[in-house]
Structure 1
Amino acid sequence: MTEKLLTIGVGGAIGVGSKMERVEEKEMELLETSLRQAESQLRIAAGSGLDGAGWIRLPYSDLEPVRRVAEKLSVFDSIVQVGIGGSALGNLMLNNAFQHPHHNELSRKERKAPRFYMADNPDPQSLAGIWDCIDPARTAFIVASKSGSTAETRAVFLWFFEALRESLGEEKAFGHFVFITDPEQGLLRQLASKGVLGILPVPKDVGGRFSVLSPVGLLSSMALGLPVNDVLEGARSLDGILKEAKGIWENPAWILAAQHTLHFRKGRPMAVLMPYADALERFAEWHAQLWGESLGKQGEGSTPVRALGAIDQHSQVQLYVEGPDDKLFTFLNVEKRGPDWYIPESPLKELSRVNYLGNHSFDELLSAEARSTAAALKKAGKPAIWMEIPRIDGLRIGALIFLYEWVTALTGLLMEIDPFDQPGVEQGKRYTYGLMGRAGYESDAAEVSKEFGEIVSKALTV
């Protein structure tokens, strides 16, 4: 590849802040041996099929099984994906990056693909809203759950399936469902013989938050005509850069992992990711799950904060500039966002004072605001990383996804945290099973009742 994938500038995060809290170049270079060992450990784990590291292989996967199912889905009028967390955020991120921002409002001729709806949260108002918008006979459902036991996904699947069974009959209803689940076992795998439209695996060694480049994230994207091949090519290109890097200053994942680790050690436990493009808003949401669920453990952790430029300049930046020095900021800018829209110069005398904006593009305005906000933070002694991509396309999004998966995993190992488990989530799941009457979880029901009872023991109702 001759054209750049991305640019990373860390000068605004080196030597910034009070003397005791600064991160210096030498400190980053001292982490090089640990980073090399961590990357080697992850690559060995991926090659051995060890739990958690299988995402490293995903850019090299055979897409043909996904393509066959996607072709079946593409003829429907609407697609509804049922999933939550890692089974939803990656899809929403890819849709946000590549689709028309009002895709579902376009005609079939204009959108050239089915409408798409995400049924993630089991909120009856949202689910009823989806049901109101679709024709069941012309709608396909993708149910994504690695274990098949996720309570929210099970509940939403049951509702939609029963609604389809009542309107279409059981045999036809199953023909509207695709399952993405464990390759060998689980509830959804057991239903594979019922004449479903298709069933695809989530690799056993890939966790939900790392699964966007698996069928979980790619099936709906391919059915909607998104540039899936380019996304995987971008991830492979980034992987090639990491493999060929001879030291930390040639390795973007090492640079960012070192920055986050050192700033965390210096008392900055928050990581703010602030893209300056509406099409990257969901990327920040996807990153928040990846980062928070991977690194928040054992009383430690780096808290992800989502922001969107320029909107959050008018809600959060006051805190960022003059508030506590407890955050590492990453700005994600795009050189060319969309159509060449220029701000007009007005002939009206009353508007002459704003004509300095005239003949500048909206791209120029957003980029100027991004640079200005980053510069203001640096001047205030707050560390800021600058990232930039030339445009939003499959190659760049694929590279960003794979880069941040690597940064997350490497940062976890540097912090001596397992980035692939999520023990803090499991207790809440057990409590929910107990409260909803699942057999074998009676003691959890009693425990949650006791703990929650203490929460509301002193309350005010007005």
Structure 2
Amino acid sequence: MYVDLGSALGATPGVSRDSLERLDEQVATAHERIQAGRRNSQHGYAALNLPETVDLDAIRGAVAPFEDPAAVLTVGIGGSALGAATLADALAGPADPDAYFLDNVDPEHVSRLLASLPLDRTVVNVVSRSGTTAETLANFLVVREAMADAGVDWTERTFVTTGESGNLCDLAEQHDLPSLPVPDGVPGRFSALSTVGLAVAAIQGHDLDALRAGAAAAADGLSGSLFETPAYAYGATAYALTGRGALTNAMMPYAERLETFAEWFAQLWAESLGKDGLGQTPARALGATDQHSQLQLYRAGPRDKLVTLVRPRDRPDFGIPATELDGLSYLGGSSLGELLDAEFEATEASLVESGVPAIRVEIDAVDERSLGSLLYEMEAACVLYGELASVSTFTQPAVEWGKRAARGLLGGGDFEEADAVDERTSLVVE
């Protein structure tokens, strides 16, 4: 990816070239820690080794039994679904199997989705490292029953992605289901370039080798300076801006196919960096749509935001027909792509004019190689930010607290966190 920091210089809050020069010494030290973690395959840092360690043949082998599916349904939550969804939404073509994701337990949504699927031609991928994730297992039980009610042998349409032990591992052994291992030392939100994120891409026929090649090129490009490494340029500048008051990071891709990427980024950034009263709150926007809504706040609201503008340098285009309407004659002969690029440039200029920091991120195209690079480099940017902020990037204690509370409420064990629900103060207005 290509990172342009120019629109973050001199903003309010903003950074200067001199401050980035000083910060670069810390980046060099953080890079040494990151590389040491990679060499030792330490928890979390192992995610940055995935271009070397992911077994693409195992992924292809696991999905090979499912010939000519009409749809693939991933049952997972958070990082168990968002990486795959990002790739599916970015890369899917009209001839590919449709990809769906059950990542919530809203009963109305679940029932409507299952009613709409051709279950006899749907492949189900159940993803949970532990095999005990309540939402995932509950949804899978519902899906399995729906398939049985439709006369479909669920064992012939299902594979699992899980850890070395647990309920899903036992289920796969009992029913001889194809299975893929969740990689050791890789938190879910960093697993997009692993078996967790790539299985759906394989079913849809996308180029796994190109995805890995893009990520590998990004990994090879990591160096000890933010001025030489796009990932570090982004992570270090976001960190510096947070310290100057930019507590919100609005991720705004100018490509419809990258809208889910903004969701993936939001989990990566929030769950990794929101620790000990620190972090930067991710917001999700879409250009040019949200120029007509959220941009008003970004430009004229509190000075507490960084806006990240993302676009591909090359994309398919569509010409705009000429019109007899005088007020719109300037559009005739141009294209939708030119209009979208003009909207991108105008938004960036608008932010600069009002003193709001922005970072421009560009990729070559919305294709496998560019996406492999983009996902890897955003992960590396997040890890660097965590190193600079001295937070525990790869843990998620607040998430685990909520999981224990929910299990306790459902009778899944004696968890003291569940007692907090009964202690909640209420003030009801009817």
TM-score, length-normalised on structure 1?
0.89
Kept after mapping to 1: 8 A contact 2:409/2:418: yes
* Equivalent residue, structure 2, for 1:391: 365
Pair 326,134 (structure 1): closer, same or farther in 2 beyond 3 Å: same
Q: 1:277 aligns with which of 239, 255, 268?
A: 255
Task: Determine helix, strand or coil for the equivalent of 1:84.
Answer: coil
* Equivalent residue, structure 2, for 1:106: none
* Equivalent residue, structure 1, for 2:427: 458
- 1:304-325 residue CA offsets vs partner (Å, 9 max, x unmatched): 0111000000111111111111
Counterpart residue type for residue 345 of structure 1: A
- Is residue 448 of structure 1 aligned with residue 421 of structure 2? yes
* Equivalent residue, structure 2, for 1:234: 214
Pair 291,13 (structure 1): closer, same or farther in 2 beyond 3 Å: same
Kept after mapping to 2: 8 A contact 1:96/1:279: yes
* Equivalent residue, structure 2, for 1:3: none
Q: 2:195 aligns with which of 196, 215, 218?
A: 215
Kept after mapping to 2: 8 A contact 1:16/1:383: yes
- Is residue 47 of structure 1 aligned with residue 39 of structure 2? yes
Q: 1:225 aligns with which of 205, 209, 225?
A: 205
Q: 1:289 aligns with which of 263, 267, 277?
A: 267
- Is residue 361 of structure 1 aligned with residue 338 of structure 2? no
State the Cα distance separating 1:246 from its structure 2 match.
6.3
Q: 2:413 aligns with which of 439, 448, 453?
A: 439
Cα distance in 2 for residues equivalent to 1:248 and 1:135: 49
Cα distance in 1 for residues equivalent to 2:70 and 2:147: 15
- Structure 1 residues 403-412 or 35-44, which shifts more? 35-44
| Identical-residue share of aligned pairs (%) | 38
Kept after mapping to 2: 8 A contact 1:192/1:199: yes
State the Cα distance separating 1:174 from its structure 2 match.
2.4
**Aligned length in residues:** 429
Cα distance in 2 for residues equivalent to 1:247 and 1:428: 38
Q: 2:98 aligns with which of 107, 115, 119?
A: 115
- Is residue 78 of structure 1 aligned with residue 52 of structure 2? no
Kept after mapping to 2: 8 A contact 1:336/1:363: no
- 1:120-155 residue CA offsets vs partner (Å, 9 max, x unmatched): 111111111222122333322100011111110010
Task: Determine helix, strand or coil for the equivalent of 1:247.
Answer: coil
* Equivalent residue, structure 2, for 1:107: none
Kept after mapping to 2: 8 A contact 1:82/1:143: yes
Cα distance in 2 for residues equivalent to 1:120 and 1:146: 15
Pair 430,39 (structure 1): closer, same or farther in 2 beyond 3 Å: same
* Equivalent residue, structure 1, for 2:50: 58
TM-score, length-normalised on structure 2?
0.96
State the Cα distance separating 1:35 from its structure 2 match.
1.5
State the Cα distance separating 1:387 from its structure 2 match.
1.8
State the Cα distance separating 1:9 from its structure 2 match.
1.1
Q: How does 1:102-251 map onto structure 2 within 5 Å? A: 103=94, 111=95, 113-168=96-151, 172-182=153-163, 184-242=164-222, 245=223, 247-251=225-229
Task: Determine helix, strand or coil for the equivalent of 1:15.
Answer: coil
Pair 116,246 (structure 1): closer, same or farther in 2 beyond 3 Å: closer
- 1:73-97 residue CA offsets vs partner (Å, 9 max, x unmatched): 3433322110010011111111111
* Equivalent residue, structure 2, for 1:342: 319
Structure 1 unmatched ranges of 5 or more = 1-5, 104-110
* Equivalent residue, structure 1, for 2:295: 317
Cα distance in 1 for residues equivalent to 2:6 and 2:417: 50
* CA RMSD, 1 decimal: 1.7
Kept after mapping to 1: 8 A contact 2:60/2:202: yes
Task: Determine helix, strand or coil for the equivalent of 1:132.
Answer: helix
State the Cα distance separating 1:22 from its structure 2 match.
3.6
- 1:411-444 residue CA offsets vs partner (Å, 9 max, x unmatched): 0110111110001111111111111111223x43
